């Protein structure tokens, strides 16, 4: 294999271009991107937040970034379907590694996430985050809003995450309500897709319920999302439990009746018109996974997010 290299995550001499590591070997960064803390010349930084102390059911999402990175190796060195291109031909993407958090001082967690996210965003890089439980989106939103102003939230999820809290709770089920009350998101242009539970309030956010996702085409759903956000800057968050447990068993709070991975990916593929300013994939908990199907879904969703960005360039 004279054209092959190994450990591209460490040996890459530039930030663009595909890697050539054997799929089954080599250092497991996200899609073999170079591991670096330097943000010079970077278009996109992929960052892991290994945190799951906010879960209301099964823990384990702290291992999500590892699992997603491992699953992403399957994308190595191919033009990425359905984009038909090397996503890194003109887009400089790095793996920024993980956020360092103190497991004994969770009260420090949101501030640490927000500060590190702000460093990346203010350097001019698009931030794609791998969670971690869905609480991490709260400090991420704060950092993005500080840079871009209030954002429309496009949330793929089985849960509304609008439960009441006191503004201080570390809870993956209340961050959307808090963001709405504090004006971080424009609720009139925000939308949730795949909802299959009830919460006390909807905060004025448009919802497409799970049964509606089943009944509608991917194009119809994408058209509603694009129309409802109305050209506003968007934060895109994908909770893997949006998918039916048949396609994503490895998550903390699975809910039956969700879309297939194929349906969700088809919707994402049609969201190129959105002005996406930041994105995350959260709640992958590999301890409950089987044959990496959830991790593969999470990695593919993250790859689609990169694909949408690559097409903008």
Instruction: Establish if 94 belongs to a structural domain.
Output: yes
Give the model confidence (pLDDT) of 100-149 as tens digits.
999 999 999 999 999 999 999 999 999 999 999 999 999 999 999 999 99
Determine what percent of the chain is predicted with pLDDT higher than 90: 85
d(CA 313, CA 187): 29
In this structure, is residue 1 part of a structural domain? Answer: no
- Provide the token pair at 102: 């103190």
Measure Cα distances from 112 to 61, 98, 143, 179, 237 in Å: 18, 12, 11, 18, 20
Annotated binding residues, as ranges? Answer: 134, 157, 159, 161, 239, 241
Read off the pLDDT of residues 201-231 as tens digits, 9 standing for 90 and up.
999 999 999 999 999 999 999 999 999 999 9
What phi, psi does 191 have (nearest 5°)?
Answer: -150, 145
Most confident of the following: 158-162, 165-169, 283-287: 283-287
Residue positions counted in the chain: 313
Chain position carrying tokens 């690559």: 310
> What is d(CA 14, CA 53) in angstroms, rounded to the nearest whole number?
37
Q: What is the CATH number of the domain that holds 200?
A: 3.40.800.10
Q: Tokens representing 309? A: 């960005």
Tell me how crowded residue 269 is: count the other CB atoms within 10 A of its CB.
Answer: 15
Note whether 156 and 194 are within 8 A (CB).
yes
pLDDT in the model for residue 3: 66
**Which pTM value belongs to this model?**
0.96
pLDDT, mean of residues 66-78: 90
Q: What order do you get walking across the sheet with 233-239 strand by strand?
A: 34-35, 93-98, 44-49, 126-131, 275-282, 233-239, 152-156, 191-195, 206-209
Domain count, the chain: 1
Identify whether 2 is part of a domain.
no
* Average pLDDT of the chain to the nearest whole number: 95
> Given 3-state DSSP classes, what are the helix, strand and coil percentages for the chain, each rounded to the nearest 5?
35, 15, 45
- pLDDT band for position 163 (50/70/90)? confident
Rg of the chain on CA atoms, in Å: 18
What is the DSSP track for 207-256? Answer: EEEHHHHHHS-HHHHHHHHHHHHTT-EEEEEEEGGGS-TTT--SSSS--S
Q: Tell me, yes or no, whether 155 lies in a domain.
A: yes
In a domain, residue 3? The reply is: no
Residue 2 has pLDDT above 80, yes or no: no
pLDDT exceeding 70 applies to what percent of the chain?
A: 99
Structure tokens at 172: 């993956």
pLDDT of residue 17 exceeding 50: yes
* Helices 109-122 and 137-148, packing angle to 10 deg: 40
Q: Which domain holds residue 195?
A: 8-312
229 in a domain, yes or no?
yes
Kind and range of the H or E element at 281? strand 275-282
Q: Give me 130's structure tokens.
A: 């791998």
Does the structure show a pLDDT above 50 at 1? Answer: no
Annotated binding site for Mn(2+): 134, 157, 159, 161, 239, 241
**Segment 243-288, tens digit of pLDDT:** 999 999 999 999 999 999 999 999 999 999 999 999 999 999 999 9
């Amino acid at each position: 294999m004279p054209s092959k290299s190994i450990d591209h995550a460490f040996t890459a001499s530039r930030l663009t271009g595909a890697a050539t590591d054997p799929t089954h070997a080599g250092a497991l960064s996200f899609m073999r991107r170079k591991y670096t803390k330097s943000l010079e010349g970077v278009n996109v930084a992929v960052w892991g937040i290994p945190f799951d102390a906010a879960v209301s059911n099964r823990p384990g999402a702290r291992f999500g970034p590892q699992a997603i990175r491992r699953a992403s190796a399957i994308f190595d060195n191919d033009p990425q379907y359905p984009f038909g291109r090397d996503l890194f031909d003109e887009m400089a993407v790095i793996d920024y590694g993980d956020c360092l958090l103190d497991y004994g001082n969770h009260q420090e967690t949101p501030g640490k996430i927000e500060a590190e996210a702000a460093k990346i965003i203010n350097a001019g890089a698009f931030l794609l985050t791998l969670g971690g439980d869905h609480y991490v989106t709260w400090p991420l939103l704060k950092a993005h809003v500080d840079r871009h102003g209030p954002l429309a939230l496009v949330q793929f999820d089985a849960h509304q995450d609008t439960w009441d809290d006191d503004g201080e709770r570390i809870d993956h089920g209340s961050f959307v309500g808090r963001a709405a009350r504090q004006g971080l998101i424009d609720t009139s242009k925000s939308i949730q897709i795949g909802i299959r539970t009830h919460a006390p309030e909807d905060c004025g956010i448009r919802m497409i319920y799970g049964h509606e996702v089943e009944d509608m085409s991917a194009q119809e759903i994408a058209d509603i999302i694009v129309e409802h956000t109305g050209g506003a800057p968007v934060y895109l968050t994908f909770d893997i439990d949006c998918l039916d447990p048949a396609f994503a068993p490895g998550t903390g709070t699975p809910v039956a009746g969700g879309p297939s991975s194929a349906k969700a990916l088809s919707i994402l593929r049609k969201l190129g018109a959105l002005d996406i300013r930041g994105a995350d994939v959260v709640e992958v908990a590999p301890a409950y996974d089987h044959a990496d199907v959830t991790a593969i879904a999470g990695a593919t969703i993250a790859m689609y997010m990169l694909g949408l960005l690559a097409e903008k360039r």
